[in-house]
Structure 1
Amino acid sequence: MDIDPNILVSIIVPTFNRSKYLEKTLKSVKNQSLQNWECIIVDDGSTDNTAAVVEKISGEDQRFQYYIRSKDFAKGACGARNYGFVKSRGKYIQWLDDDDLLSENKLELQVQKLEEADLKQFTTCDWDVYWEGKDFEPHNVIDDDEVLLPQDFFNSLVKRETYVPPHAYLIPRALAVLAGPWNIHLSINQDAEYFTRIILVSNGLVNTKGCRVLYGVHDGERISSSFNSKNLASLIYGYKLIQAHLKLKDVQAKSFMKWKLRKLLLLFGKSDKELIRNNKYLFIENGVYPSRYTYYITRYKIFKIVMPWYKRYFK
């Protein structure tokens, strides 16, 4: 299928003091086989040489557009994304963090997939974390010919014990409008809450074969890699919102909530007892009991010891 050359994809990149990674990310955009795109880089107040990196590449290619986040939009990645969306014009939206990478055919294949799909579907692809020298190991939440509706999507996340980074998706602009902006009150877990709203207003998620994305991992620089009380509060608030969104649409995803909240209890049950206790009804409602923390952590430690042995001798 030939793609209509007038179809525009908007790639929105929030950035803050990540110039050492940003250039490589923007090169993965510049190398796209699909030519009709705009890349909107929104600087959230960088004090490094981000401006110089972006001005160099935008001087060579005017499809790159550089903005300083407007003061009318909240500070942080979500505010920068929302500002970038306002500045965008594309039929399709590609969210991209400033240290992540797209395969050269990602936009072309995903636009082609969506042009053949239902108007209210969105798409994902294979992904993996990366660091220097790491081989690609594909992860996905969906099989090739499936259409995942909301309940299937959350069940698949649990079954595969995975997640989906935001840049694996390509979203029709119309879905992004229906779902609403990124939640500026979340410091972590924003993508899970945002894409819950996306899938709930969609007619399902489809897979695009033959392309992939890479998710950057750098020694604790990701917000999601730092565990503290502020981030725990944001995680809990995010899961409360997700549960509320699901209930509103009558989507049953208790296994997902139980899986996520049990992981939170294992991570924070000892260090942040008061915060866990103050939100105990969220945990209990989903079959996770903070009073059983010692039991959960003991079982988890036994599992970590036994599972490698089991895989070695019985698989």
Structure 2
Amino acid sequence: MQLTILDRVERPAEDVVALTLRGANGPPAPWEPGAHVDLTLPNWLTRQYSLCGDPEDRERYRIAVRHERLSRGGSDYIHRYLRQGRTLEVSLPRNHFPLVPAPGYLFLAGGIGITAILPMVRAAAGAGAASSLVYVGRTYAAMPFAGELRAAYGDRVTIVATDRDDRPDLAALAAALGPETVVYCCGPASLLASCEAVFPAGRLHVERFRPAPRTFAPDTAFDVVCARSGRTVPVPADESLLSALTHAGLPVPAGCREGVCGSCELTVLEGEPEHRDDVGAAPGRMYACVSRSLSSRLVIDL
């Protein structure tokens, strides 16, 4: 974890607060477009936020948080109680949504999904790649950084406020896609589903804030062997691996607990994990909050 100081609090749109964080003990760790961090709040909640500042700024991080009225307490606390000068713990950046090199990009952002896309737009422009952004929101006043984007990138940015504009024709955008153009999309599930229906899967990259609904076989019990600690922990059918390890006194850091942030990654040494995450676990890795085991015994590096 890194200690940071809340340097600036801004309100770039209705119900959105932007926080600028500087390192308390030197510059924070470097990052690349698509990265996010875990922010540990003074009320003991940990939440994940995309870094939406300039990756070339090695002194500061910027995140933006929409106030969700029915949230689990994270956004409400940030909007009501966080003040300039507060010291906050922030994880090292993780990136499950990297910007791949390409000659052209089409970026699509919905609402607060612009936070993940904004640094990508900046990086693509800096690399001289052909790029365009379609940014969709309910109203212009509720769309953070819309003015900043328009000022910097002009007609490469299309702002769609659905209270006054027609929704973008994604099928037409797909039909006009250049042969080497890749597509990046972040936003609500409805936008992601619409993009997945029209854009070629091999050229579409999406980031989810909530897991996609999927169906798995019924949960079964298994044993997890913790190689470093020498402990064997039974995981009942009605308990997650993350919870079983925590109850056994072997806690694993965890943020979203929904399989979208990657903070609870474990190394698998033996056995066959059943991946239920939306991150896309690398070979030999699994995420303890949602994933289980297809074998009766799983050996992990813990």
Q: Common fold, TM-score beyond 0.5?
A: no
Task: Give 1 or 2: higher helix fraction.
Answer: 1
Task: Give 1 or 2: higher strand fraction.
Answer: 2
Larger RCO: Structure 1 or Structure 2 (Cα < 8 Å, ≥ 6 residues apart)?
A: 1
Could you tell me the TM-score, scaled by structure 1's length?
A: 0.29
